[in-house]
Amino acid sequence: MIVDHRYTVGMYTTESDYLKLTTQKLQAVALVAADKNDVEVAQIVGVSRETVNRWRHHNPAFKKAVSAQRKQLAVDIYIEQSDDLSELIHVFKKYLPKKYYRLAIKLLECHVDKVKTTTKNY
């Protein structure tokens, strides 16, 4: 599993935060965000459980990246499961910074238009 950098860099964290994370830490971010425990993360990444615990509790860049990845996962789940556009817009407002919220709404509008066009052709 690999962390989605589109959301951890720029949207919720800064590029300098991202640069502080090694490849192992980035892999661990994705696993922690997916609710894996310290032992599971340590085994997959190849470090000790204590190291994962230290990253989770004492590394601000790691904690910020995990938070960003969890927010993105929440948005993704709502998008996949939501048939109600008003609910989806509410999720965008809640989880996305203002400048990205507007972009997300524009992308959603484009997607809806594309779906309407595609379904008309069938």
Q: DSSP secondary structure string, 40-63?
A: HHHHHHTS-HHHHHHHHHH-HHHH
119 Cβ contact list (under 8 Å, min separation 6):
none
Task: Tell me the CATH number for domain 1-70.
Answer: 1.10.10
- The predicted-structure confidence for 12-71, as pLDDT tens digits, reads as follows 455 555 567 888 999 999 999 989 999 999 999 999 999 999 999 999 989 988 988 888
pTM (whole model) above 0.75: no
Domain ranges of the chain: 1-70, 82-122
- Measure the CA–CA gap between 104 and 93, rounded to whole angstroms: 10
Token pair belonging to 97: 């910074």
